Amino acid sequence: MAVKVEQIDPCRWRIPRQGAMRTEGLVYASRAMMDRLRQEQALEQVRNVATLPGIVGPSLAMPDIHWGYGFPIGGVAAFDVDQGVVSPGGVGYDINCGVRLMRSRLTADELRPLLPQLTEKIFQQVPSGVGSCRPDLSLTKAEQRQVLLQGARWVVERGLGSAEDLLRSQAEGCIAEADPEQLSERALERGRNQLGTLGSGNHFIEIQYVEELLDELIAEVLGLFPGQITVAIHTGSRGLGYQVCDDALRAMLRAAKKYAIDLPDRQLCCAPLNSVEGRNYLAAMACAANYAFANRQVITAAVRQAFEDTLGLGREALQLSLIVDVCHNIATWEDHRFEGRQRRLCVHRKGATRAFPPGHPALPACYRSIGQPVLVPGDMGRYSYVLVGTERGMEETFGSVCHGAGRVLSRHRAKKAAYRRDIFAEMAREGILLRAAGRATVAEEISEAYKDVAEVVQVVEQAGIGRSVARLRPLAVIKG
């Protein structure tokens, strides 16, 4: 059955409640985006999420929406603590896949002469690609347990970061509900030697520069200036997180049957939040999320060391400091005001980013005046954006915005489009140095495989759920 969609305004579209839906759907998109979406299955997934028990508010989709496992990528849904459910499909396989953004004192002109050496140094220090690992950082069982419980703090306490890194990370780099006893031996095994690795697919390390400030006052609070070198890191929980999801899906299919939850799609298998199965999944998910926080922190240390070694500058001279680390595949307990009263909700963000407004108590003091900073990466050949959260976003989307550009070509179609092309040379002509573990991933990640992130951000800004602060251009891209 085709999904009925009604336009509310230039950037909002309603999927009216029908059939088994418990609420309506709300999609943020331009007309051109919606024309494409009508040909895809992602709108059906928005509708399916609206059928889940205990959903609060609409089933939401950000403008980077595209088809995913269970939930659409770009999907957001909040669930009541008593009547609601938790679904691994609303988090994803790469639990706490996320991004972090660092700033430096360097300018693009200062760095360009040493860019090839620096890029190669980072590529050598941060293993990338399918199955990449760090034998030199293999964890004992006791160490791994502490990583799963403490997240980025475990890394910082070993001299690979600072208290400021933790303060500027979502949840200070650690989800408290973690319980390593909920992980299978296979999940633990897969995580023993992958800490500090990038992985493959759309994961990356980018050396960028600030091309334009779009809000100078907020940019000043973030320490951004034109021409400034920044570094973005995008990766998650690697094989450990994948296995946690894979294990949970089997348990959740049994749970859905046990609790008589009618599923429009098996990929939306779920369990009540207050059930044993629901609590066990959240505890395992928190472990994977903490592993991802630790992973990005180890990579950050390697990137800082590469800068110091290549440029011959100390940490004080470089000032390569963290602006923000945010998750975009996670379910978190949050307090939200809905329909006139405070409610405790479990907010699923699948390919969507938390973006709390100014004054929110979860934000560090340094960002309370401006709102939560968010990095929205584009494709490897164009640009990325820095945004901050808004009060309207808090009211409409539970404080959520997009997480990137969103795919328009499948990986298979992207490879066909890239056949016999020299993507490395194409990137070089655009002034971008590309380093990758293999050509297959590069082919999957060509620019035309993605929406133009500028159009995605424009919808977010037009809707008032986020505010643009700066546009960043890539100088060098490291892919898996």
Q: Which residues are catalytic?
A: 403
Phi, psi (degrees; rounded to nearest 5) at 162: -135, 170
- Which residues 6+ apart lie within 8 Å of 406 measured at CB? 63, 64, 65, 66, 73, 74, 351, 450, 451, 456
Within 10 A of 308 (CB to CB), how many other CB atoms are there?
15
Residue 79 is classified by DSSP as E
Q: What is the dihedral of CA 169, 95, 143, 166, to 10 degrees?
A: 0
To which H or E segment does residue 402 belong? strand 400-402
Instruction: Name the nearest CA neighbour of 268 among 86, 81, 19, 15.
Output: 86
E strands, 276-327, are 321-327
The phi, psi pair for 130, rounded to 5°, reads -60, 130
Q: How far apart are CA 19 and CA 1, in angstroms?
A: 11
Cβ contact 199:128 at 8 Å: yes
Q: How far apart are CA 269 and CA 394, in angstroms?
A: 28
